[in-house]
Amino acid sequence: MTSTMTPRENAGGETRPGPSRNAGQRQDRPTSSWRRRLSRFDTKVSPYAYVAPFFILFGLVGLFPLVYTLFVSLFKWNLLKGKGAFVGLGNYATVLTDHFFWNSLLNTASIFLLSAIPQLIAAVFIAAVLDQNIRAKTFWRMSVLLPYVVTPAAVALIFSNMFGEQYGLINTVLQHLGMDPIMWKHETLPSHIAIATMVNWRWTGYNALILLAAMQSVPRELHESAQIDGAGAFRRFISVTLPGIRPTMIFVIITATVGGLQIFVEPKMFDAATAGGAQRQFQTTVLYLWEMAFQRQNFGQASAIAWVLFFIIVGIGLINFLVSRSIGTAEAKVASRRKTRKAAIAAGQTPPPTPREIRQARKALKQGGRS
Amino acid sequence: MSAAVGTQASTTASGITDAPKPRRFKGKEKRPGFLTYGLLIVFLVCSVYPLYWSVIMSTRTNADFGLDWPPLLPGGQFWKNLTTVLDSVPFWKALGNSVLISTIITISVVFFSTLAGYAFAKLRFKGRNGLMVFVIATLAVPTQLGIIPLFMLMRTWGWTGHIGSVIVPMLVTAFGVFFMRQYLVDVIPDELIEAARVDGASMFKTFWHVGVPAARPAMAILSLFTFMTAWTDFLWPLLVLNNTNPTLQTALSQLQSAHYVDYSVVLTGAVISTIPLLVLFVLAGKQLIAGIMQGAVKG
């Protein structure tokens, strides 16, 4: 995939003026030699010049702050007073024994699960409905994507009104249904559900479209042969569609995790007056980080929170990656075994035994031995 | 990894553009029944109703929140609510800031991503693979967690309160570089670049006249998503900007704090702040869908 540039470089090497004729050549055609040299310099340096802006800017505003956070976390450090005494891992010890930190972590996990799981199920369902020969495809796709263009801040405002405790739309409807109003902002689980609803509303359609694309790339022949084998629509969905879209589902889960663990706007604007509820019942970790840094002005401890969260996110990402890779290799093994079998059959040879045949043969052997 | 990319390239040959293969013979397959359309209408209502409800409430008084049933038709209070919004937050300034910030970030991200993506996809240089692995690794790194030193940096530079402090941290993204590289690796034949070079075009001229035209579809998608990301950003602008110079998103937060008992005014703010992206959605919705469905877009 990268071998094609070599010939030109060789060609350049051949025409390079040798040391013996160097002087004459240069006097004959000074501009040409200069131009060649410039061109060679251009070839060598340009790639670095093209990637440099990214690396320089990313290093300055992305990587450096992240590493410097580690440095800050080792000191007493105040927003206004600046750097104080070196405390080593003291900030980390404080954070890890801090009840509010664990509370924020639990809230984040709870909100994340309440959004990720229903969202994934709903997105698969919506994608399956869209993955039919429907009329006005673009219209229906746009209709599920619409919430995505409402910004999280606006979503938070809209839903925190809908989930209002006294005059909110949801409680009004609940009362009409003869149920008691729910204290969406004061109780822990209801507040998590409300915040998860904001996330779900905005992202489900988006993820449904990603999954729809994955479903459409499942080979048609698989569906057809399953149909010939007598599989109904539901059975085909379970055995053909779902395995086919698994890599994409893992992708969706990973992006949802990285985003979900850094949730901020929704809980921040769910209650304007507090940082995550009067009892911190819906204070997420980034919200706690924000409170620690910019309200309590404790930069040192806030940096320690940032690094702990960083490790959690990277750790979960790594686990996701390893799990998806091991699934991937297992699938590749099965696929390659099937391929060799098919090839052997096509060539008119006896195919290598399938695992099931091996198992049956072993069983037969065992039984034979016993009798 | 490169082996996998290689086989993929050889099978699909011309890249993302034709990745979702048309697998259906439209005439042959039967149209789905009423159940499907019923479900689609349910999805539509779920998507639209919260927005519709906000629009309705933004045209009514606060007292209407106490109505027995949520109203379905607009009232006549919209202009009054709008005036209150415009009086309590610098809305036009916020809108201008959001447009300016998102536009500059989009131009920068798309340009630098195309440049670097082109180099990674089509040029040979020492350390290329190592640097590319670095880019991929940073995709999974939550750089947003570096806000504390970034804030100190902006304060040292005296940039807090200016929109420059929002723009600079977002001038490049690892995702953009990765996205452009993945697109360009298949879409430009190496011979084309060689031909341009043999004809005496400089490296940059080759990039400009061969790379950029080929990259245009991917650049359009990347612009759309970069613009959206910049537009919706909340936490960082909240930290470095102030009430007199906000973005649209932080102005909403301001509005909420100022009118936390006046719901119709708050919803008016939410509605009018949604209009710009709604316009974008109507104009470029198809491209947005195509971009998402090409599967390479990270949320």
The residue type of A352 is P
CB contact under 8 A, A303 and B148: yes
A220-240: average pLDDT? 85
Listed in sequence order, the residues at least 6 apart from B59 whose beta carbon sits closer than 8 Å to its beta carbon are: B74, B75, B76, B77, B78, B81
Helices (H), ranges, B233-262: 235-240, 248-258
- Predicted confidence (pLDDT) at residue B2 exceeds the cutoff of 60: no
First to last CA, chain A: 60
What phi and psi values does residue B33 have, to the nearest 5 degrees?
A: -90, -165
Compute the half-sphere exposure of residue B265: CA atoms within 13 Å on the CB side of its CA. Answer: 20
CB contact under 8 A, A152 and B232: yes
Joined tokens for residue B105: 């970030």
The residue type of B135 is V
The pLDDT tens digits for A63-91 are: 899 999 999 999 999 988 888 899 989 99
d(Cα B127, Cα A117) in Å, to the nearest integer?
41
Chain B hits for A170, Cβ within 8 Å? none
d(Cα B237, Cα A337) in Å, to the nearest integer?
54
d(Cα B166, Cα B161) in Å, to the nearest integer?
9
Supply the DSSP symbol for A298. B
Joined tokens for residue B139: 């995709």
A213-229: average pLDDT? 86
- The answer to whether ipTM exceeds 0.90 is no
Listed in sequence order, the residues at least 6 apart from B91 whose beta carbon sits closer than 8 Å to its beta carbon are: B85, B251, B269, B272
d(Cα A105, Cα B155) in Å, to the nearest integer?
30
d(Cα A9, Cα B66) in Å, to the nearest integer?
77
The domain limits of chain B are 31-76, 83-293
pLDDT of residue A4: 37
* C-alpha dihedral sign at A235, A236, A240, A244: negative
pLDDT of residue A14: 40
CB contact under 8 A, B281 and A146: yes
Compute the half-sphere exposure of residue A208: CA atoms within 13 Å on the CB side of its CA. Answer: 31
- Using the Cβ of A265 and the Cβ atoms of chain B, whether some distance falls under 8 Å is answered with yes
pLDDT of residue B49: 94
CB contacts < 8 A (A, B):
300
Chain A hits for B278, Cβ within 8 Å? 149
Decide yes or no: CATH 1.10.3720.10 for domain B83-293: yes
pLDDT of residue B64: 84
What phi and psi values does residue B172 have, to the nearest 5 degrees?
A: -135, 150
Q: Which residue of B has its CA nearest to A129?
A: B36
CB contact under 8 A, A142 and B252: no
- Confidence grade of residue A151 (pLDDT, cut at 50, 70, 90): very high
* Homologous superfamily in CATH for domain A93-345: MetI-like (1.10.3720.10)
The pLDDT tens digits for B157-208 are: 999 899 999 999 999 999 999 999 989 988 888 888 889 988 888 899 999 9
Distance from CA of B177 to the nearest CA of A (A): 8
pLDDT of residue A369: 47
The pLDDT tens digits for B62-100 are: 888 878 778 888 888 899 999 999 998 999 999 999 999
- Predicted confidence (pLDDT) at residue B24 exceeds the cutoff of 60: no
d(Cα B282, Cα B86) in Å, to the nearest integer?
26
CB contact under 8 A, A42 and B202: yes
CB contact under 8 A, B40 and A61: no
Q: Which residues pair with A78 in a beta bridge?
A: A82, A298
Listed in sequence order, the residues at least 6 apart from A161 whose beta carbon sits closer than 8 Å to its beta carbon are: A168, A169, B54, B57, B65, B263, B266, B267
d(Cα A366, Cα B6) in Å, to the nearest integer?
46
Give the start-end residues of each E strand in chain B: none
Q: Which residues pair with A75 in a beta bridge?
A: A86
- Using the Cβ of A213 and the Cβ atoms of chain B, whether some distance falls under 8 Å is answered with yes
Name the residue with higher pLDDT: A167 or A261. A261
d(Cα B91, Cα B82) in Å, to the nearest integer?
10
- Using the Cβ of A172 and the Cβ atoms of chain B, whether some distance falls under 8 Å is answered with yes
Q: With beta carbons less than 8 A apart as the criterion, state whether B229 and B169 touch.
A: no
- Using the Cβ of A58 and the Cβ atoms of chain B, whether some distance falls under 8 Å is answered with yes
Q: Percentage of chain B surpassing pLDDT 70?
A: 89
User: Which of A64, A153, A203 is nearest residue B253 as measured by Cβ atoms?
Assistant: A153
Distance from CA of B183 to the nearest CA of A (A): 14
Which of A220-229, A305-314, A362-371 is predicted least confidently?
Answer: A362-371
Chain A hits for B254, Cβ within 8 Å? none
